[in-house]
Chain A
Amino acid sequence: MADGDTATQPEGSTNGAAPARGGNPFVPRGVGGDGVGLDPTAPRALHANPSVVGSSQPLAISAGTPSDAPPVLGAGSASVGSPRGKVRIGDRIFLALTRGASGFVVLLVSLVAIFLVVKSLPSILDDKVNFFTSSEWSTTAGNLRFGIAPLLYTTVAISVLAMILAVPTAIGIALFITHYAPKRVARPVAYAIDLLAAIPSIIYGIWGAAVLAPHLAGVQRALYHLGGFPLFKDRNVPTGSLFDGGVVLAIMILPIVTAISRDVFERTPRENIEAALALGSTKWEMIRMAVLPYGRGGVISGAMLGLGRALGETIAVFLILSKVSNFSPSIFSGGETFASKIANSASEFSNPESTGAFIAAGLVLFVLTFVVNAAARMIVNRRKDFT
Chain B
Amino acid sequence: MAKSIEAKNLNVYYGKFLAVSNVNFTVAPNSVTAFIGPSGCGKSTVLRTINRMHEVIAGATVQGKVLLDGEDIYDDGIDPVAVRRTIGMVFQRPNPFPTMSIYDNVAAGLKLQSGRTRKADLDGVVEKSLRSANLWAEVKDRLSKPGAGLSGGQQQRLCIARAIAVQPDVLLMDEPCSALDPISTMAIEDLIRQLKKDYTIVIVTHNMQQAARISERTAFFNLSATGQPGELVEMGETPKMFTTPTDKRTEDYISGAFG
Contact = CB atoms under 8 A, between A and B. Distances in A.
- Whether chains A and B associate is yes
Interface of A: 2-3, 6-13, 269, 271-272, 274-282, 285, 289-290, 293-294, 296, 383, 385-387
Contacts of B96: 3, 275
B88 A278 contact: yes
A11 B153 contact: yes
B84 interface: yes
Contact of B146 (A8, A274, A386): A386
B152 A6 contact: yes
B91 A385 contact: no
Contact of A280 (B85, B148, B153): B85
Given A10-B183, A11-B151, A278-B53, A3 B98 contact: yes
A195 B125 CA distance: 51
A387 B99 contact: yes
User: Closest 6 CB pairs between A and B?
Assistant: A280-B85, A10-B181, A293-B99, A280-B84, A3-B148, A278-B89
B158 to A, nearest CB: 11
B98 A279 contact: no
A14 to B, nearest CB: 10
Nearest to B99: A293
B56 A280 contact: no
Interface stretch (B65-73, B107-115, B241-249): B107-115
Interface of B: 51, 53, 56, 81-86, 88-89, 91, 93-101, 108-109, 112-113, 146, 148-155, 159, 162-163, 166, 179-181, 183-184
Given A275-B95, A279-B85, A281-B81, A6 B155 contact: yes
Given A6-B149, A383-B99, A386-B98, A277 B184 contact: no
Contact of A278 (B84, B97, B149, B150): B84
B152 A385 contact: no
Given A274-B95, A383-B99, 17 more contacts: A3-B155, A6-B149, A7-B179, A10-B153, A11-B152, A11-B181, A13-B151, A271-B95, A277-B56, A277-B84, A278-B84, A279-B88, A280-B82, A293-B98, A294-B98, A296-B99, A386-B100
A275 B181 CA distance: 22
Contacts of A383: 99
A7 B94 contact: yes
Given A2-B148, A6-B149, A6-B152, A280 B109 contact: yes
Contact of B183 (A11, A274, A282, A290): A11
Given A7-B155, A11-B154, A280-B166, A385 B94 contact: no
B184 A10 contact: yes
Contacts of A387: 98-99
Contacts of B180: 10-11
Contacts of B51: 278
Taking each of B100, B152, B163, which has the highest tally of chain A beta carbons within 10 Å of its own beta carbon?
A: B152
A287 to B, nearest CB: 13
Contacts of A385: 146, 149
A295 B173 CA distance: 28
A345 to B, nearest CB: 48
Given A275-B159, A280-B82, A7 B152 contact: yes
Given A7-B152, A290-B97, A274 B162 contact: no
Given A275-B91, A279-B166, A6 B84 contact: no
B146 A272 contact: no
B137 to A, nearest CB: 14
A44 B166 CA distance: 37
Contacts of A8: 152, 179
Taking each of A9, A269, A271, A387, which has the highest tally of chain B beta carbons within 10 Å of its own beta carbon?
A: A9
